[in-house]
Amino acid sequence: MALAYCYDISAFVIILCLLYAFFLQRLHRVENNTIAFAALLCSLMASGMSVAFYSGPLKYIELVVPFRVAAWALTAVSISLITLFLYMGRAYNIGVIKPLLFIGLPFGTDILCIILACFDFGPHFRTAAYCCDLFIFLVGLNILYVYKRNSAVERTIMLNLMLVATIAATVAEMLYPAFEIQRFAISLLLAETYFNLKNPEDQYNSETGLLGLESFREDMRRRFYYMKRHGGEIYMVMLAIHSSETFLKLLGEVNELKLRQSVMSEITRIGDETAVYRVNQGVYVFLSEKGDRPEAVRIMKALQTRFESTFGAEAYEMEIPFSVCMIELPRMASDMTGISDLLHMAVKEGRMYGRTVIDVDTLDLSNEEYMRQVDEKVRRAVEDGNLEVYYQPIYSIREKRFVSAEALVRLHDGSRFIPPDLFITVAENNGSIVEIDDFVIRQVGRMISDRNISDLGIRYIELNLSVSDMLQDDIAGKLTKMVETYHIQASQINLEITETSDDTFTGVVEANVMKLSHLGFSFSLDDFGTGYSSLARIIMMPFDIIKLDKTIVQAPFNMESEYEKTNAMTLLTSSAEMIGKIGAETVAEGVETPDQLKLMEDLGVDLIQGFYYARPMPESEFVNAVKAMNGNKR
């Protein structure tokens, strides 16, 4: 009796804490977790009644049977609700038959057996009641197994473990009635169930109040699993608001807020009872519970009608550019990757061509599939060993030999190379550029050491650094460690930086440039003349080399009219003269013909980089090419 009392007190305290946390964190979203909340409440009442009964004041003989019936019945309700919650949280379109058959029927039998047991109709009814509990728990285990792909692995494992522990406790109590541990085990199962609940912040986008991307993914996992097992089709509607953040900010803070609220209000109104997900900036997906075509058609027409008119009033009244489309599943997409590709292509189609209604069947997804494959290859490039460093020699006009080289990374997929411009852009977007650059840094350090490049007549290797690299606090330490590891000199590394926007050189980047310069590394500015290079920055930053972009080098030879050729020549001449006057060496990129080379010599350019002398090549070929060119010219 005392042992049972302690277990019930523990269960009562655990569930009381859970209910407090439930109200504290989830009260404004409690409608989404009603079943879990009801299970907590029933378990709390069952444990509370047992505590009150065992504590003494309520232990009247005439109350024994009612208390037992109520406590055990509430426990049975709690067990059934937990299992139903697991079912509804993982399955889609479950209907009524299965829950009634596998949860409702055992629950009803459980209650009947509890009543008969409490009125002393025989101990076998108590055993039968426990057997009903066990059956419902086993249904829960089966649900977790069948729908294991519809939830995170770690969540499924922990719930399985807690269900097994609760089954063990139920068996122990069935065999030893005085050892009332079942409600304590249920409280622990409820605790694990509670921690599996999604926070409202995870479910809902804070800016819009709509369901977020993670909720959309979980919902689609359930629906895809259902369609795979039972067939059927689902229709969803996408709304894309183009350049939403740009035009909203033009209104000013107050009007922006008013207009944003107006748009969100209309989206919610049109959705009515339909779930609306904000899956990306300005991209919303409408998905009804049934996912039927008539509802999707209604939503699509309502969106088109509303967004063809203006939003706001007076000073901030404006038309909002938009696109809508309908997606049929699984015909158009069979998984989340396919949906993501469709949404991305539909948004791009609407934005680029100004279309308000997108016919998804006409979209060309082959390029999107290729880009997705490239993204995956880029993410795994270092791990799979598909990266290789190539070297393009740089020729000195004055010394008539190769004096340096640029290290260029190449990515192959086993059969062919992926264009550098493509995979570098993808790497910058998905965050793998830093890992790739680390690989290049190590390879260049090893090559300088192994090949002893000074003996080849090579003074330094140009190493490209992305903005992501230069924003790292430890970039100086990383490069210093490379120099120390391979026993080379900092002066044998030239760090090449490309200005990709006006915001490239932040305070952190400038500080790292200065720090590395003091450590002995030299710097070059790549792609000068492409539109972003700041003359003031060139003067202030320690650039030893400035590289004329191939577009400006080749422009005088590519223009058709004499007027264009004259302007191109003027720009090229003035750029070369300016670089020479500020004391930096000039590298002409993209030199491919004798005429281009002659012009660079006439302009006093110091170094030549281009196909005229050498293409980028693997390390061994590079060494041979340098030996062949330099010979004994050093």
Instruction: Map out the domains of the chain with their CATH numbers.
Output: 2-197 (1.20.1070), 201-363 (3.30.70.270), 372-630 (3.20.20.450)
Higher pLDDT, 395 or 432: 395
Report d(CA 498, CA 376) in Å as an integer. Answer: 25
Count helices and strands in the chain by DSSP H and E runs: 27, 15
Beta-bridged to residue 522, according to DSSP, are: 494
pLDDT of residue 445: 94
Beta-carbon neighbour count of residue 426 at 10 Å? 20
- pLDDT of residue 505 exceeding 60, the answer is no
- pLDDT of residue 444 exceeding 90, the answer is yes
Tokens of 399: 């010394």
- pLDDT of residue 250 exceeding 50, the answer is no
pLDDT of residue 173: 87
pLDDT of residue 98: 84
Tokens of 424: 């570098």
**CA nearest neighbour of 183 among 109, 191, 30, 104:** 191
Report d(CA 409, CA 346) in Å as an integer. Answer: 33
**CA nearest neighbour of 235 among 363, 360, 369:** 360
Q: Which amino acid is at 630?
A: N
Provide the pLDDT confidence category of residue 219 given band limits of 50, 70 and 90.
confident
CB-CB contact of 76 with 133 (8 Å): yes
**CA nearest neighbour of 347 among 238, 270, 216:** 238
Q: Which amino acid is at 514?
A: M
Name residues whose C-beta falls within 8 Å of residue 30's C-beta, 6 or more positions apart in sequence.
Answer: 22, 37
Q: What is the mean pLDDT of residues 555-561?
A: 86
For 251, how many CA atoms within 13 A lie in the half-sphere containing its CB? 23
Indicate the SS3 state at residue 328: strand
125-134, 513-522, 526-535: which range is least confident on average?
526-535
The answer to whether the Cα torsion of 55, 56, 57, 62 is positive or negative is: positive
Q: What is the mean pLDDT of residues 264-283?
A: 87
For 5, how many CA atoms within 13 A lie in the half-sphere containing its CB? 7
Q: Which segments of 397-492 does DSSP mark as H helices, in order?
A: 420-430, 433-451, 453-456, 467-470, 475-486
- pLDDT of residue 587 exceeding 60, the answer is yes
Q: Length of the chain, please? A: 634
Report d(CA 139, CA 53) in Å as an integer. Answer: 31
How does the average pLDDT of the chain come out, rounded? 82
Tokens of 492: 């044998």
The torsion defined by the Cα of 248, 254, 260 and 266, in degrees rounded to 10, comes to: -130
Provide the pLDDT confidence category of residue 5 given band limits of 50, 70 and 90.
low
Q: What is the mean pLDDT of residues 63-74?
A: 78
CA of 566: how far to CAs of 75, 122, 591, 599, 600, in Å? 90, 108, 19, 14, 16
pLDDT of residue 31: 46
Tokens of 551: 């577009």
Go through 174-203 and write b for each residue having 16 or more CB atoms within 10 A of its CB, e for each that does not. beeeeebbbbbbbbbbbbbbbebbbebeeb
- pLDDT of residue 413 exceeding 70, the answer is yes
**CA nearest neighbour of 605 among 396, 335, 327:** 396
Q: What is the mean pLDDT of residues 76-89?
A: 87
Judge if pTM exceeds 0.85: no
- pLDDT of residue 259 exceeding 90, the answer is no
Q: What is the mean pLDDT of residues 410-428?
A: 81
Report d(CA 136, CA 372) in Å as an integer. Answer: 43
Q: What is the mean pLDDT of residues 236-253?
A: 67
Q: What is the mean pLDDT of residues 530-539?
A: 58
Q: What is the mean pLDDT of residues 281-287?
A: 88
pLDDT of residue 501: 42
Q: What is the mean pLDDT of residues 368-379?
A: 77
Name residues whose C-beta falls within 8 Å of residue 232's C-beta, 6 or more positions apart in sequence.
Answer: 226
Q: What is the mean pLDDT of residues 345-349?
A: 82
Higher pLDDT, 350 or 303: 303
Give the 3-state DSSP-derived string for 384-421, with helices as H, strands as E and coil as C: HCCEEEEEEEEEECCCCEEEEEEEEEEEECCCCEECHH
- pLDDT of residue 512 exceeding 50, the answer is yes
